[in-house]
Chain A
Amino acid sequence: MKKVVIAVAGLAIISGATSASGQDAGTFHIGAAAPLSGPQAIFGQGLTNGMQLYFDQLNAAGGLPGGHKVELVKADDRADPREGVLVAQKFCDDEQMIGVLAHFNSGVTIPSLDVYGGCSMPQVTVSSNPQVTQLGFGHVFRAANDDYAQAQLSASYAIETLKEKRAAIIQDKQAFGEGVAKIFEDKFKALGGEVTSVSGVNSTDVDFGPVITSLKAENPDMVYVGAVMPQLALIVRQMREQGIKASYFVPDGGFTPDLFAQAGKDNAEGTLITFQVPPYDSKPELVAFAKAYREKFGKEPDTYDAYGYLAAWIVGETLKGMSKADVNRENLIKALHATNLKNSLLGIDVSFTEHGDLKGGLAFLYKATDGQFKLVK
């Protein structure tokens, strides 16, 4: 144990020394940690590419007011909670570091909160587990929705656009499935809808015949399912086979070609799926982002890369509103709490709740149409 502590301390000193050397003192560091190797590397690299793109644009345009540059310091957390904590300590020890964009996986972000909290480091994350902002840390901000918020969009779309009144809910009794189903139910009722039944199923089930037969007797306008794949596909397949024509709403797990493969293209047709990311051709800002990304990295941006850019943009734009003398970790936390930014890449205004969650929704509704997902809202 002692050896480990010494090794860790040694590592921190060495890395602190290397990152401090040869830097001009007027440069601010922003840390970025995500899985850059291993099976999730594709997400981490895309995410940090998005961040890099923003800071490169910022520096190319002359940096922060007063000409100070911002340098992105990347670290690999290997999607491993233990590695994440080490990275966090390293970032804390870097005195030029004024904020971090970390981490990607909720399981890594949650244990890192304590470390960043201990050195008052402003932390902007894209992790979607609701716990991240609910543990009482004041320094963490989520530049994404929590897992459950997407269900509100389904409820409001069903009531306001489709004029549906009666919903049946199926959920798989898991944290995610039960969470989204509850949010949906509350929102649907608040908007004046009637919930005909809430059925719990086991997350390993593949036979939903009995549940669907009882649903059929209730004759709902729509069915909302809080679950993951393959259940989302199996339920719609068995629903359509039993002749239920109610519209079918599912959370982000259904945003995959597997939906068509496992449910059958005809059965999946018309399924309404909420997802966190708009298509890159849907807005001029996103088209410009995709173009700049292609030019810099030589490939198309992946699904989550815009979130990296968004997180970096939030920190960068907030820093622009601060004077050089004021910039330190504590003040940046305060500034982020008060921040109010317009016209973000994803088309929403950015401000945070007292817990550090984004105010307003950040979800997009897609419709399964002829084997493709088409954006409807």
Chain B
Amino acid sequence: MELIQQTVNALSIGAIYALIALGYTMVYGVLKLLNFAHGEMFMLGAFFSYWLIAQVVGSSETLSFLQFVGIGLSILFSCLLVGLVAMLLERIVYRPLRGKPRLSPLLGALGMSIVLQNVVQISVGPGIFAYPTLFGSTRIEIGGIGINRTAIVIIGLSVALMAALQVFLQRSRTGVRIRALAEDHEIARLIGIEINKPIAAIFFIGGALGALGGVLYAANYGVMQFSMGTIVGLKAFTAAVLGGIGSVPGAVLGGFLLGLLETFAAGLLPKLTGGLIGTEYRDVVAFAVLIVVLIFRPSGLLGRPEGTGEASDKKDF
């Protein structure tokens, strides 16, 4: 029983990791860039939506139908806004650094992460903000297994969007271009694929999904802070690596797997080891598993093996 309950817990955090991991993996797949500013898209999503929702809801205690629609639109709008921020970041920082040694855009990304965090810290302060419970905290009990409404929204929305993304990448023209670029940058250019638009699209989609992750995360735990993107971003990055960075299904798999690993490490290990390994070891366990996976499968669970003589490999540091 407890096992099923822990699995339910794991799914909601895993879904959020997966949403954010998609942004890391798509950018890496095409540009071989570790976009460390991606965690800040997550944070910006929470802050933009917080502000917009405050405008819609005002001080009213109960919500009218129109305000519900307003909240939905606020979330949508903040995701689009963050998508634009991510595109802008690509245009201003990463595009001029494209083709340079891989260390340069990586440092650019780290720098942008610091800049964005500090901008938010200076403009709203370093405090912790109480984020509204958007979907209600009512708990639904089914045969002793409880799940709250926010968790249902998180899992439902994430799975739907990940499926939609997969369809988009497989079926749409932009999706085909993105995949071609991920397959081989040089060849794609040689056969006349325009590269800037698909890359901008990737940043937009990744940023928007990351922002949605931020909204859902803040609504689930009820708090947000300028630095919230650092830890969660790192976890999502780990999820992307675990699943195989560059692979979209890998990011989803990695996200859920990391969620499960963490939850079981925190919830069950103390019991299995008689308290010898406490819940505080959950990150240790999660990262230990990551290391073991990488030893046996260096490109992650679903990743393509690297070192196939692609032009991009030769640029490695």
Residues of chain A whose beta carbon lies under 8 Å from any beta carbon of chain B: 173, 197-202, 204, 206-207, 209-211, 213-214, 217, 229-230, 233-234, 237-238, 241-243, 258, 261-264, 267
Q: How far is the CB of A137 from chain B (nearest CB, A)?
A: 34
Contact B128 A201 (CB under 8 A): no
* A201 to B264 alpha-carbon distance, docked (Å): 14
Given A213-B2, A230-B128, A241-B148, also A201-B280 (CB < 8 A): yes
Contact A210 B128 (CB under 8 A): no
Q: B96-137: which residues lie under 8 A (CB-CB) from chain A?
A: 128, 130, 133, 137
B interface secondary structure, majority: helix
Contact A173 B280 (CB under 8 A): yes
* A242 to B8 alpha-carbon distance, docked (Å): 12
Contact A210 B280 (CB under 8 A): no
- 9 A-B pairs besides A173-B280, A200-B279, A214-B268 with CB distance below 8 A are A201-B279, A204-B231, A210-B262, A213-B5, A214-B279, A217-B2, A237-B222, A258-B130, A261-B130
Which of chain B's residues have a CB closer than 8 A to the CB of A211? 266-267, 279
Q: How far is the CB of B231 from chain A (nearest CB, A)?
A: 6
* A198 to B270 alpha-carbon distance, docked (Å): 10
Q: A206's closest neighbor in chain B, by CB?
A: B221
User: Which of A200, A206, A209, A213 is within 8 Å of B223, CB to CB?
Assistant: A206
User: Which of B130, B139, B275 is within 8 Å of A241, CB to CB?
Assistant: B139
User: Which of B9, B133, B148 is within 8 Å of A213, CB to CB?
Assistant: B9
Contact B282 A210 (CB under 8 A): yes
Which of chain A's residues have a CB closer than 8 A to the CB of B2? 213-214, 217
* A3 to B119 alpha-carbon distance, docked (Å): 40
Contact A230 B223 (CB under 8 A): yes
Contact A202 B222 (CB under 8 A): no
Q: How far is the CB of B5 from chain A (nearest CB, A)?
A: 5
Contact B266 A210 (CB under 8 A): yes
Contact B279 A210 (CB under 8 A): yes
Q: How far is the CB of B276 from chain A (nearest CB, A)?
A: 12
Which of chain A's residues have a CB closer than 8 A to the CB of B137? 237, 241, 264, 267
* A197 to B267 alpha-carbon distance, docked (Å): 12
* A263 to B222 alpha-carbon distance, docked (Å): 7
* A211 to B5 alpha-carbon distance, docked (Å): 12
Contact B231 A199 (CB under 8 A): no
* A263 to B128 alpha-carbon distance, docked (Å): 12
Contact B13 A262 (CB under 8 A): no
Q: How far is the CB of A193 from chain B (nearest CB, A)?
A: 18
Contact A199 B222 (CB under 8 A): no
Given A211-B267, A258-B130, A262-B222, also A200-B280 (CB < 8 A): yes
Contact B223 A202 (CB under 8 A): no
The interface size of chain B toward A, counting residues with CB under 8 Å, comes to 34
Q: B1-19: which residues lie under 8 A (CB-CB) from chain A?
A: 2, 5-6, 9-10, 12-13
Q: B126-155: which residues lie under 8 A (CB-CB) from chain A?
A: 128, 130, 133, 137, 139, 141, 146, 148
Q: B221-240: which residues lie under 8 A (CB-CB) from chain A?
A: 221-223, 231
User: Which of B265, B279, B283 is within 8 Å of A199, CB to CB?
Assistant: B279
Which of chain A's residues have a CB closer than 8 A to the CB of B10? 210
Which of chain A's residues have a CB closer than 8 A to the CB of B12? 209
Q: How far is the CB of A159 from chain B (nearest CB, A)?
A: 23
Which of chain A's residues have a CB closer than 8 A to the CB of B223? 206, 230, 233-234, 262
Q: How far is the CB of B293 from chain A (nearest CB, A)?
A: 21
Which of chain B's residues have a CB closer than 8 A to the CB of A262? 128, 130, 222-223
Q: How far is the CB of B13 from chain A (nearest CB, A)?
A: 6
* A355 to B146 alpha-carbon distance, docked (Å): 51
**By CB atoms of chain B within 10 A, which of A201, A207, A238 has the most?**
A207
Q: A238's closest neighbor in chain B, by CB?
A: B221
Which of chain B's residues have a CB closer than 8 A to the CB of A200? 278-280
**By CB atoms of chain B within 10 A, which of A200, A209, A229, A241 has the most?**
A209
Contact A214 B271 (CB under 8 A): yes
Given A258-B128, A264-B137, also A210-B6 (CB < 8 A): yes
**In the complex, B263 has a CB within 8 A of chain A:** yes
* A263 to B221 alpha-carbon distance, docked (Å): 9
Contact A210 B263 (CB under 8 A): yes
Which of chain A's residues have a CB closer than 8 A to the CB of B262? 210
Contact B275 A229 (CB under 8 A): no
* A327 to B282 alpha-carbon distance, docked (Å): 59
Which of chain A's residues have a CB closer than 8 A to the CB of B6? 210, 213
Given A242-B139, A262-B128, also A202-B283 (CB < 8 A): yes
A-B contact pairs, 7 of them (CB 8 A): A199-B270, A214-B268, A214-B270, A230-B223, A237-B222, A262-B130, A264-B133
